[in-house]
């Protein structure tokens, strides 16, 4: 495909997302199924452009004075990808596959765009207006900058599995994708974000991945697991295990001592946990599936650590899933808050005296973070907040209450919130 056809394809996909409210993954798949002539590089190019547009939809519209998919695509290649205005004009006008010649207004906007400095915070930060109050609570005057950081492309982070290898050997295995240490956790490696128009390196294709040497996991997610504290030899329950990313990180810290129980309300998600645990060499994992009757029976009041990776809006992962910020609604946020209250109350039944709850979200919204913890403490006054960590690497990311808040701007990770709640020992 020529660039002209690629521009037209990106506009087509974005129009499908806007008009039919389809997730970006499904819209890209539908286009790919219909465009059999498109090669792997073409698909990567179109996908990268569509995702970049979704990351910065509002600021692109502001610059153009036009919120259409066409205007956003033209603005993205001009202002994000660095195309000269003349190249944009030539590709747009190229027959028969281009999206059509530029209008006078489009050409003027590409050459002299509106200044983003004059835009409202929600436009500069590329998030919906209705979330401005929440982000002001979390970040104050810096909310637009935090939003801008959440609109960047994300790197690929990896967690070295110490049950199978060590960081030095893992780095050698990952030389082809130019992985580097993060300098934060010794087991955390990073592959830089690829050029948006190019295919990313396939980490999963490296033979050592199949051997369980490393897992793809954002550094923020790894730090959230590390914030659980000492887990070696402990009884640990991962109450919302999902696909098992944090389960495996905890298991790695446990070094096959103690016992880790993985549960999720969706039995289908646990199939990945079983498969990944076997590949990683985890031998102290028990998967408790909801297809069985009373799957958590016998664990009540016996856990040293109850890890709660709570269901949330995923606002902290907008870099990777930019379409979700435009599909999020106040109703969905309210439902998640109810889910979070319920899972926290459930988790409290499993912690033993002297044990702790570790509450985690990949959200940046106080309604899902501090507010839920404060509401839990009102319902369970026997619990108290335990500052997440005294580690110098994390201390600068602690809130005044002792919670951990990570964001792309502050920690170069996805957005995460962690609170550790301790149940006092029996007197």
Helix axes 370-379, 330-348, angle to 10 degrees: 40
Query: Does 323 count as an annotated binding residue?
Result: no
User: Which is catalytic among the residues 91, 240, 312, 362?
Assistant: 362
Taking the CB of residue 223, how many other CB atoms lie within 10 A of it? 26
Nearest Cα neighbor of 308 from 227, 214, 383, 364 is 227
Nearest Cα neighbor of 85 from 67, 66, 63, 69 is 63
Please say whether the beta carbons of 365 and 416 come within 8 A: no
Does 91 participate in catalysis according to the annotation?
A: no
Nearest Cα neighbor of 392 from 156, 202, 111, 184 is 184
- The dihedrals phi and psi of 95, each to the nearest 5 degrees, come to -95, 145
3-state helix, strand, coil in the chain (%, to 5): 50, 15, 40
Query: Does 66 count as an annotated binding residue?
Result: no
- d(C-alpha 419, C-alpha 308), whole Å: 10
- d(C-alpha 394, C-alpha 406), whole Å: 9
Q: Give the catalytic positions in this structure.
A: 362
Q: Give the residue numbers of the binding site for S-adenosyl-L-methionine.
A: 264, 309
Q: Give the residue numbers of the binding site.
A: 264, 309
């Amino acid at each position: 495909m020529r660039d002209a056809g690629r521009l037209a394809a990106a506009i087509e996909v974005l129009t499908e997302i806007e008009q039919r409210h389809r997730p970006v993954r499904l819209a890209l798949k539908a286009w790919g199924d219909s465009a059999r002539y498109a090669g792997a590089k073409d698909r990567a190019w179109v996908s990268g452009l569509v995702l970049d547009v979704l990351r910065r939809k509002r600021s692109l519209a502001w610059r153009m004075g036009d919120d259409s998919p066409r205007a956003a695509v033209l603005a993205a290649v001009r202002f994000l990808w660095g195309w000269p205005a003349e190249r944009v004009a030539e590709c747009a006008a190229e027959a028969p596959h281009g999206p059509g010649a530029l209008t006078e207004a489009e050409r003027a906007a590409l050459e002299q765009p509106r200044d983003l400095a004059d835009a409202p915070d929600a436009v500069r930060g590329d998030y919906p207006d209705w979330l401005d109050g929440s982000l002001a609570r979390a970040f104050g005057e810096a909310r637009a900058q935090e939003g801008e950081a959440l609109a960047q492309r994300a790197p690929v982070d990896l967690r070295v599995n110490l049950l199978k290898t060590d960081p030095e050997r893992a780095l050698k295995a990952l030389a082809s994708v130019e992985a580097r240490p993060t300098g934060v956790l010794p087991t955390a490696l990073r592959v830089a974000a690829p050029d948006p128009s190019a295919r990313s390196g396939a980490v999963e294709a490296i033979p050592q991945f199949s051997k369980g040497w490393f897992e793809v996991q954002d550094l923020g997610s790894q730090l959230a697991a590390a914030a659980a504290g000492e887990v070696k030899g402990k009884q640990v329950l991962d109450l919302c295990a999902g696909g098992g990313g944090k389960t495996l990180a905890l298991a790695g810290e446990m070094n096959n001592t103690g016992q880790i129980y993985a549960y999720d309300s969706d039995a289908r998600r646990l199939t990945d946990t079983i498969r990944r645990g076997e590949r990683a060499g985890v031998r102290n994992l028990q998967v408790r599936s909801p297809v069985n009757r009373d799957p958590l029976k016998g664990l009540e009041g016996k856990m040293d650590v109850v890890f709660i990776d709570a269901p949330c809006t995923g606002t902290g992962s907008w870099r990777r899933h930019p379409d979700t910020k435009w599909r999020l609604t106040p109703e969905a946020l309210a439902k998640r808050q109810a889910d979070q209250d319920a899972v926290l109350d459930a988790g409290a039944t499993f912690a033993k005296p002297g044990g702790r709850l570790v509450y985690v979200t990949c959200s940046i919204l106080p309604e899902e973070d501090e507010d839920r913890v404060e509401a839990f403490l009102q319902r369970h006054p026997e619990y108290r907040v335990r500052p997440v960590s005294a580690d110098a690497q994390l201390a600068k990311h602690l809130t005044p209450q002792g919670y951990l808040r990570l964001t792309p701007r502050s920690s170069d990770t996805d957005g995460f919130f962690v609170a550790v709640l301790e149940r006092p020992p029996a007197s």
